[in-house]
Amino acid sequence: MGEFDVIARYFKRPARRAALGIGDDCALLQPAPGTQLAISCDMLVQGRHFFADVNPHSLGHKALAVNLSDLAACGAKPLAFTLALALPDANASWLAAFAQGLFELADAHDCELIGGDTTAGPLNICITVYGEVPLVNGRSLALLRSGARAGDDLYVSGTLGDARLALNALQGKLSVSASVLRAARERLERPTPRVALGLALRDIASAAIDLSDGLIGDLSHILKSSQVGASLQVDRLLPCIGCYPGSAYAKAEDQVDLTLEQWRTLALAGGDDYELLFTAPPGRRAAVALAAQSSQTPVHHIGQISANPGLRLLDAQGLLLPNPYASFDHFA
């Protein structure tokens, strides 16, 4: 199977929205008048972002999901994506499953593949995604990291820490039951990009980011960009962990034997969560609740933004906790 066969068999589909799709030197995209194009790019490398034996259907899903998650964090509506793929070989069943996982998620978000590149090389998946953000009277509705203000509420969506729990279990650092591993692994390998929530939060959230490196690290980007500080109610995060006893997601039989400190670490520095972390003025609490409801996405109020710089971690009694948590860094 040659390079052009790979593209034709597994990836080429007729252009729907794009003026020109796969098959020329460039794709042509024509953003609607009065909109901005949001662009984001994520590269996934075997051994760093996924195991060599990962299910290719899940990998196709995740490669696009992590990119859609960036659009969600900007409040951008997915339009299209390009895919660059380095493959050790052209394995037909692997490619078919990868393309199926990729296109199932793409179709669910009406996001079309418009071009890319295919080459031989160590497995590497680089997707660049394009989304639409409206301009209202010349003002962009994009959610940025820089808009948090003192007094704003701090929220996080969905569940936290399960991806890291699965990673630790798969690496043999932790022993969990098969059913916990299955549920946690689903979160690691098939994250849900919070696109509907991001769209619903336009004009409500003051700042937003998606969680890829861990809550503490990603929150620090909001604080730095917005030049503010925050206090975080750490124990409000624990019920956000899917397998935490007493969380809305845990089943009674799924007990995981972790210390409180280990649970906190999962929530604060887990990474690979792909949830939205965002801020909104306290006057918009009803609007945030409505956005959560309309997008069918759980949202948790976990802290406050303050003018006082730095991050303060508070326990259930409001006492200050130490902050030894490191964010994930590819070169650290």
Site for its own copies in 100-139 (CB under 8 A): 114-122, 124, 126, 128, 130-131, 133, 135
Pairing outcome for strands 310-314 and 229-233: parallel
Considering the complex, what minimum distance in angstroms separates the CB of residue 13 from its own copies?
16
Pairing outcome for strands 153-157 and 299-306: antiparallel
The residues, any chain, with a CB within 8 Å of residue 131's CB and separated by 6 or more, are 37, 38, 39, 40, 71, 74, 76, 77, 78, 79
41 binds its own copies (CB under 8 A): yes
- How many residues touch its own copies under the rule CB under 8 A: the total is 73
89 binds its own copies (CB under 8 A): yes
194 binds its own copies (CB under 8 A): no
Task: Report the amino acid identity of residue 152.
Answer: D
Choice between 19 and 260, CB closer to its own copies: 19
Choice between 42 and 235, CB closer to its own copies: 42
Contact string (CB under 8 A) for its own copies, positions 132-171, x = contact: -x-x----x-x-xxx-------------------------
**Please, which of residues 231-290 interact with its own copies by CB under 8 A?**
none
Contact string (CB under 8 A) for its own copies, positions 311-330, x = contact: ------------------xx
Pairing outcome for strands 112-120 and 77-87: parallel
99 binds its own copies (CB under 8 A): no
**Please, which of residues 57-86 interact with its own copies by CB under 8 A?**
70-71, 73-74, 76, 82-86
**81: which strand partners?**
113, 129
Considering the complex, what minimum distance in angstroms separates the CB of residue 222 from its own copies?
10
The secondary structure of 80-109 as a DSSP string is EEEEEEEESS--HHHHHHHHHHHHHHHHHT
Determine how many CB atoms are found less than 10 A away from the CB of residue 127.
23
Considering the complex, what minimum distance in angstroms separates the CB of residue 115 from its own copies?
6
Cα(87)–Cα(69) distance, integer angstroms? 24
